[in-house]
């Protein structure tokens, strides 16, 4: 095995083919030398990943040591504006163990923390009390995070390494020199464009889910082989890899694609789909545009797709198990009166509220449960869903939280949640039995 960037046989290191920070499904191979692994990571991927921290946080990704992803945002609290505040969870903002740093409009440092802590560190400086019952988070997301220099180079690297991985290429070959030169900064000829084909997104949306990274390769009419990388079911990049060795496929009206899916919960799967042209005049498989040519109107379409990350939860049994385990531990503390309802709900953290909603619905509809079917086969029956994701509006969330507060006042909340937890654990144990059969 040699480095797929330079053919070096020394100091080969394990490369995260899909950058570990944007996927739950680990995909690695030791076919990149230490020098080029560091080059792609330091020159592109760190900045690309950093620009996506806000979305990584909402998708539930964590650092290598299991901590929540932090991101920078502005906040408004009781008339005070704080800029460049580092945020991870709502609990860390509403009940910080340490201080929350930010800057005012004049660039002066602002510190927010519980009063006892502030008094210890204030050193005679002015202190004011703020009401944190209503904190608004402002996060501006630039198209550059998805279409800029760091994003496009990182996408090219991911697509190239994935192509080598699935095709068992373990060295730098002449045919791939064009994309390698771009990744290494030796060429400015960008091999990455953006698919803007509505029919394509209609098809891929039926096969993927929010947070999933999807890949396939194909040969197009221009004589090139491409890898398509669909990031989190938001935006699809088409990456030109090399000249196509398959002349036959270029003459066909129908193209079949083997789709590789890397899910947010760490699982992997494969499926297939096809594109059929009714036009006898040969055309490219997909309508695309160069990143720098993206228009405001087109970008609005992608923004609406990206926004789904904030309002959608993937209903993977493994993701739910992690969340339910955490909820179970908090519920014990709630029963012991060590925490109140505010802390139990994680200061209304979206995932916490959504999980309670899901598991209590599972219990309420337990008569629909079919133990011969898998968890995801039962979901449409029990929750009236059309897919393996659930989306809730802010108004839905507010209404449900008010309902939970009412149960708390009547001392009925613990029993309500515990029934849902028991129902989920029953389904989880049944899932393990089914997978062993």
How many CA atoms does the CB half-sphere of 412 hold within 13 Å?
6
Query: Dihedrals φ, ψ of 429, to 5°?
Result: -65, -35
Whole-number pLDDT of residue 407: 98
Burial call 90-109: b when 16+ CB within 10 Å, e when fewer: bbbbbeeeeebebeeeeeee
Whole-number pLDDT of residue 109: 86
Whole-number pLDDT of residue 247: 60
Backbone dihedral region of 232: left (phi > 0), alpha (psi from -120 to 50 degrees) or beta?
A: left
Closest of 272, 174, 193 to residue 240, by C-alpha: 193
pTM over 0.75: yes
In the chain, count H helices and then E strands: 17, 16
Q: Are strands 135-138 and 71-77 parallel, antiparallel or unpaired?
A: antiparallel
Whole-number pLDDT of residue 70: 92
Q: Are strands 224-231 and 213-219 parallel, antiparallel or unpaired?
A: antiparallel
For every residue of 37-90, DSSP letters joined together read HHHHIIIIIHHHHHHTHHHHHHTT-B-TTSPBPPEEEEEEETTEEEEEEEES-H
Instruction: Give kind and range of the element (H or E) at residue 161.
Output: helix 149-166
Whole-number pLDDT of residue 251: 57
SS3 at position 175: helix
For 331, residues 6+ apart whose C-beta sits below 8 A from its C-beta are: 344, 414, 417, 418, 421
Whole-number pLDDT of residue 39: 98
For the chain, domain boundaries: 79-133, 189-310, 315-436
pLDDT per residue as tens, the chain (437 positions) = 999 999 999 999 999 999 989 998 999 999 999 999 999 999 999 999 999 999 999 998 988 888 889 999 998 887 888 999 998 888 877 777 778 888 988 888 888 877 777 777 776 677 777 766 677 888 888 999 999 999 999 999 999 999 999 999 999 999 999 999 999 999 999 999 999 999 899 999 989 999 999 999 999 988 999 999 999 999 999 999 999 987 655 556 677 899 999 999 899 999 998 877 656 556 788 999 999 999 999 999 999 999 988 877 777 898 899 999 999 999 999 999 999 999 999 988 888 999 999 999 999 999 999 999 999 889 888 998 766 667 677 788 899 999 999 999 999 999 999 999 999 999 999 999 998 76
Handedness of CA 350, 355, 357, 358 (dihedral sign): positive
């Amino acid at each position: 095995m040699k480095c797929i960037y330079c053919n070096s046989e020394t100091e080969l290191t394990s490369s995260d083919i899909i950058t570990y920070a944007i996927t739950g499904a680990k995909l690695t191979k030791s076919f990149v030398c230490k020098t080029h692994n560091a080059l792609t990571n330091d020159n592109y991927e760190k900045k690309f990943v950093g620009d996506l921290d806000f979305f990584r946080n909402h998708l539930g990704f964590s650092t290598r040591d299991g901590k929540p992803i932090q991101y920078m945002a502005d906040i408004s609290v009781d008339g005070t504006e704080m800029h460049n505040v580092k945020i991870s969870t709502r609990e860390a903002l509403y009940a910080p163990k340490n201080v929350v740093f930010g800057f005012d409009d004049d660039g002066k440092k602002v510190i927010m923390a519980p009063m006892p802590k502030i008094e210890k560190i204030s050193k005679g400086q002015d202190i004011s009390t703020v009401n944190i019952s209503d904190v608004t988070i402002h996060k501006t997301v630039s198209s550059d995070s998805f279409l800029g220099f760091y994003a496009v180079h990182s996408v090219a690297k991911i697509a190239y390494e994935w192509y080598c991985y699935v095709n068992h290429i373990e060295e730098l070959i002449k045919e791939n020199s064009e994309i390698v030169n771009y990744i290494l900064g030796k060429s400015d000829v960008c091999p990455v464009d953006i698919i803007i084909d509505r029919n394509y997104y209609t098809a891929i949306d039926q096969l993927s889910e929010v947070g999933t990274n999807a890949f396939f390769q194909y040969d197009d009419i221009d004589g090139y082989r491409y890898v398509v990388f669909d990031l989190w079911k938001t935006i699809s990049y088409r990456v030109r890899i090399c000249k196509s060795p398959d002349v036959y496929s270029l003459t066909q009206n129908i193209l079949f694609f083997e789709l590789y899916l890397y899910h947010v919960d760490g699982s992997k799967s494969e499926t297939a789909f096809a594109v059929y042209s009714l036009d006898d005049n040969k055309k490219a498989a997909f309508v695309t545009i160069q990143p720098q040519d993206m228009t405001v109107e087109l970008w609005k379409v992608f923004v609406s797709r990206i926004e789904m990350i904030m309002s959608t939860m993937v209903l993977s049994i493994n993701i739910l198990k992690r969340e339910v385990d955490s909820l179970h531990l908090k519920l014990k503390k709630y029963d012991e009166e060590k925490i109140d309802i505010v802390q139990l709900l994680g200061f209304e953290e979206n995932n916490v509220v959504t999980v309670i909603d899901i598991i209590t619905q599972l219990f309420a509809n337990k008569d629909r449960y079919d133990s011969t079917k898998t968890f995801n086969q039962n979901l449409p029956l029990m929750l009236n869903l059309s897919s393996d994701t659930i989306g809730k509006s802010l108004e839905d969330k507010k209404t449900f939280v008010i309902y939970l507060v009412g149960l708390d006042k009547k001392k009925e909340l613990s029993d309500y949640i515990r029934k849902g937890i028991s129902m989920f654990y029953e389904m989880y144990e049944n899932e393990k039995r089914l997978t062993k059969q």
